[in-house]
Amino acid sequence: MASIWVLGERGLACLQTQHARVSWLLSEVLAVLPKARSQSPPWHTRDRVAATAHRNQTRSQGSSRSIRIAHGLATADGQATGIRPPHRGLEMKEFHCILQTKGGIGKSVAAAWLAQYLLNQGRAILAIECDQSNRTLSRYQRLQTERLDLLDKDQQIDRRRFDALMERLVEDTEPTVIMDNGQASFVPLTQYLVECDALSLLEEAGRQSYVHCVVTGGQLGPSTLSGLEQILAAFVDSAHVVVWRNGHFGPIDDEAYQKIVEASGAELREPVHLDRWSKPFEDDVQEMLQRFLTFEEAIHSPDVGLMTRQRLTMVQRRLFGEIQFAVSMEPLEAAHA
């Protein structure tokens, strides 16, 4: 019964859609490979095609096991646990940048949970906090966050500091990087990344870029959707854009959201849904956040009772399944122009 609750109707629908597309994706990859070999593309393009074929082969190995793995609910032997085993081999190093025009909508929480998911996968990470007005990520001791003040006294990008970070990323001296940014750095950082074509440079160096955008409902909804529109306009061709749909502020305007996606021509990956839970679950998660604990720290804390541990484990499973859909699979939310 717990597994059914975690997946829900929306999760099952997504799985059915994804399963139906596996055969099509395999045929597309097989059609592309001979042409790709004859044209001798850059090495990072060949790796991307190979990685796609590897993911598709993994998805085709048994329907029940594929369902559990797709939601981050399986071990190597296919037993449901809520934690997916580390993925090794063809995966590129990654740069994850959390951006939005508004503050107080859950950007730092998204960054913290993304970092925890990647750690749970056995990935080595570097968490960077660039939000000078809200130092949230650096208060998680487990994440060992590095502070980076991107803005100078004129609220412009300190190019020397960000240039140095880019060199570290290009030189491949850092593991998977998660960078949390504040409201004030949105415009200057976006301008810097676009002007310098920085994300394309990272891709050429073998590092894939993801731009994460939180959208909400309620009073902040229009502003966050406007931020998404700006992000798609700036990065649709140079990064994977991942949307986090935060339902804790009210229902999101789906019609406006879809119009923005269609107008951009983007193919978005499956969004991360931060839905509301019942009060006992909400209270446990809020207490964990207020103490700046990771899921693993809270679940294994001697101060946490049996049922609190159970509720946090259920939330972790569902959340990590959502994140895995967003960062590990091919685009599912294609625009319909």
pTM beyond 0.85? no
CB 249 within 8 A of CB 217: yes
Do 99 and 64 share a structural domain? Answer: no
CATH of the domain at 103: 3.40.50.300
Residue 265, in any domain of the structure:
yes
Structural domain includes residue 88 = no
Is 323 inside a domain boundary? yes
Residue 245 lies in a domain: yes
Average confidence (pLDDT) over 240-244: 96
User: Same domain, yes or no, for 48 and 197?
Assistant: no
Query: 62 by DSSP, 3-state: which?
Result: coil
Same domain, 17 and 124: no
Encoded amino acid at 229, one letter: E
Same domain flag for 35 and 153: no
Assigned domain for 83 exists: no
Alpha helices in the chain (DSSP H): 2-39, 43-59, 63-70, 107-120, 159-170, 186-195, 198-204, 221-235, 254-264, 279-290, 295-299, 306-328
Q: Given this model, what pLDDT does residue 221 score?
A: 95
User: In a 3-state reduction of DSSP, which class is residue 242?
Assistant: strand
Report the number of distinct structural domains present in the chain. 2
Q: Are residues 198 and 270 in the same domain?
A: yes
Q: What percent of the chain has pLDDT over 70?
A: 70
User: What is the greatest pairwise CA distance in the chain?
Assistant: 61
Residue 299 above 90 pLDDT?
A: yes
Q: Final residue of a domain: which of 38, 70, 102?
A: 70
The range of the structural domain enclosing residue 21 comes to 2-70
Q: Which of 35, 55, 70 is the C-terminal boundary of a domain? A: 70
- 104 and 216 together in one domain: yes
Both 14 and 119 in a single domain? no
Top mean pLDDT of 121-125, 180-184, 266-270, 308-312 is at 308-312
* Predicted pLDDT at 172: 75
Same domain, yes or no, for 48 and 193? no
Identify whether 86 is part of a domain. Answer: no
d(CA 164, CA 128): 13
* Tens-place pLDDT, residues 125-134: 999 998 767 7
pLDDT of residue 76 exceeding 80? no
User: Which range, 21-35, 51-65, 158-172, 234-248, has the best average confidence (pLDDT)?
Assistant: 234-248
* 121 & 200 share domain: yes
pLDDT given for residue 148 in this prediction = 85
**Residues whose CB falls within 8 Å of the CB of residue 163, separated by 6 or more in sequence, listed in order:** none
